Amino acid sequence: MSARVTIATTLRVLRQLRRDPRTVALVFVVPPLLLTLFRYVFDGQPQTFDRIGGPLVGIFPFVLMFVITSITMLRERTTGTLERLMTLPLSKLDLLLGYALAFGLVAAVQATVTAAVAFGLLGLNVEGSIVVVVLLAVGNALLGMALGLLASAFAQTEFQAVQFMPAFVLPQFLLCGLLVARDQMAPALEWISYALPLTWAYDGLQRAVDGGDAALIARDAAIVFAVTLLALALAAATLRRRTP
């Protein structure tokens, strides 16, 4: 492992992103726009928007980083740059951490912009700390990144990688408790929801918005972090130096 190679990788990934201004614009503009859309969709039920708006600030980065990472890593595989890197003195951890730093940074900016729109312009109430919401959002982005890295190992084409988004992300989004309280679901689904990381991410966000118990927020964040590490370890195992 080498900090020099990790940082070089982070800078390289950020430089690639900068070369694609449209993607950068989408990353920073789409979440606030979607949140605004939610605000007016629930125009007649402001209490619903008050309930889901805050947590959404921290869920968008999860969805987005999943997509961006799975496609970026798939490109590394298909263009042969991953094979070149595997012949060089670069450890897999350097590569994964390099990605994590770059996307973590992007997620932090994205969550800050979204939070500013949500709690500023759209007037969402927050009892707790906005900083905690943004920090949790970055943690969720890293979870999305780790799952995206893992998913990319199972995709052979970009079409497949894009389809993994609804397959991996949408069920978690439906079951996490954001749209419908989990105890209103069929009992089997409620149990399944506890096995999904986004459920804990959502709980943490909701507590952070409502000014809930700090110890419980820390527990939720720790669960999300543990799943992130597990997914990263599995992703590292799928990054083979030798391939057929």
Partner 1 sequence: MGLLGPSGSGKTTLMRAIVGVQVIRSGTVEVLGLPAGAPELRHRIGYMTQAPSVYGDLTARENLDYFARIVEAAPERVEDVLETVDLIRLSRRPVRSLSGGERSRVSLAAALLGRPDLLVLDEPTVGLDPVLRRDLWNTFHRLAEAGTSLLVSSHVMDEADRCDELILIRDGRILAQAPPEELLRSTGTDWLGDAFLVLVEGAS
The Cα–Cα gap between 100 and 242 comes to 23
Q: Could you say whether residue 21 binds partner 1 (CB under 8 A)?
A: no
Cβ pair 71, 165 in contact under 8 A: no
Contact call for residue 22 and partner 1 (CB under 8 A): no
On whether the CB atoms of residues 224 and 200 are closer than 8 A, the answer is yes
In the list 63, 85, 126, 198, the residue contacting partner 1 (rule: CB under 8 A) is 85
Q: Which of 22, 89, 188, 215 binds partner 1 (CB under 8 A)?
A: 89
Residues 229, 145 contacting (CB under 8 angstroms): no
Q: Which is nearer to partner 1, 95 or 146 (CB)?
A: 95
DSSP 239: -
Site for partner 1 (CB under 8 A): which residue of 1, 33, 41, 83? Answer: 83
User: How far is 133 from 224, CA to CA, in rounded Å?
Assistant: 14
- Residue 81 found at the interface with partner 1 (CB under 8 A): yes
Contact 101, 6 (CB under 8 A): yes
Closest approach of partner 1 to the CB of residue 202, in Å? 35
Give the binding site for partner 1 (CB under 8 A). Answer: 4-5, 8-9, 11-12, 15-16, 19-20, 79-81, 83-90, 241-244
